[in-house]
Structure 1
């Protein structure tokens, strides 16, 4: 039996009470890498926001990381998000704190205990993304590619079973983007499922995976003819 980390059935994805995608049905298996593509406004970000419970699922059924989206009370949302890693295009790093302090903020917010344990986890994720020496630096002193690696490190802190990435290479040049894709490949090979929204079709050709396409209010799946 395959283990699904995401399963939507006949779901309607809404943004500000307007349906942007209808009859959405798909599953995402543990350790799978899937792209999410479509024009601006086609529903990519709204779908991702529904998966991490920033938008409610009002029609259809959905399960993410073992949580029922249709019956998810506000108190359970933080527990769902601890099982997910979320990577934003615009970084959303705290500008008044060092890299390590940014990561420590997340660990404190998600209930980690023990100073040594937290410092060890910060060292582990920075090493994982190839940034062992930057913990004491401020985010603005890093390049765009380095800041994105910090964002990925932040997303990995709680050892997520699913990484949701919204245009993670959108602001990066091709060489830096390739490094981020190689890093995603390593994370995926280590057992984390990845759903990545992108506009960059060159990435799809260079790193081929299953593709979900938001088009005309529907979600098309390359795995289904």
Structure 2
């Protein structure tokens, strides 16, 4: 199954085109990095993939859903269903600091239509255990370290058993040892069958855990599977 497919896609940032004629596919269970300088289009590409930005030209589908076009409402009514099949991981965590870890996760389950108190509590326990945080459900986010907060964010992204994880600089604010433990967690999740597309500036991680690399450069997306290139 193809989880991402773009063909001649244009990626916009405000009113500027940052990437043009982007064509690539990512298969179920595949892992790819997304690299490039600040402002090269990485975050805008990810936002387009989770339908936060419309697709102004070209075609695209993610986990079987067509991406909404800026030319009309086509696909926009399917965005909530698309996002239920995705896990989205942000660099700045975006946790709700006025409620416990468990209530952060419960908020997502309620928003995505889960029913049954016991079933929801069980799912929260399952994802926290999976990221190695079985004991923090009752804690507030500010009581956790940066690495623990990022693990909660990953747990949140796993709640709906996504086919695809989109991660925007998930280790950008973490020290090297913590970054490595987070990376190992991504590898485990990927080995269990979830596709991962991770934007990163951390070339050391890429060398340590080599996978396909997509590079945003001068308005183009270069794919190491098609055109091998040096990272530097």
- Whether TM exceeds 0.5 here: the answer is yes
Structure 2: how far apart are the matches of 1:45 and 1:185?
Answer: 21
Per the alignment, residue 59 of structure 2 pairs with: 61
Q: Find runs of 4+ consecutive structure 1 residues off by over 4 angstroms.
A: none
Alignment partner of 1:36 out of 15, 34, 37 = 34
Alignment partner of 2:25 out of 27, 46, 59 = 27
- Counterpart secondary structure, 1:49: helix
- Counterpart secondary structure, 1:182: helix
Give the TM-score of the pair, scaled to structure 2. 0.95
Structure 1: how far apart are the matches of 2:36 and 2:64?
Answer: 27
Per the alignment, residue 178 of structure 2 pairs with: 176
Identify unmatched segments of 5+ residues in structure 1.
Answer: none
> Is the Cα contact below 8 Å between 1:10 and 1:22 reproduced in 2?
yes
* 1:41-68: CA deviation from partner (whole Å, max 9, x where unpaired): 0000000000000000120010100001
Structure 2: how far apart are the matches of 1:127 and 1:34?
Answer: 26
Per the alignment, residue 192 of structure 2 pairs with: 190
- Counterpart secondary structure, 2:87: strand
Structure 1: how far apart are the matches of 2:75 and 2:14?
Answer: 19
Structure 1: how far apart are the matches of 2:17 and 2:139?
Answer: 43
Per the alignment, residue 112 of structure 1 pairs with: 114
* 1:87-129: CA deviation from partner (whole Å, max 9, x where unpaired): 0000000000000000000000000000000000000000000
Shift, 1:70, TM fit: 4.0
Identify unmatched segments of 5+ residues in structure 2.
Answer: 228-232
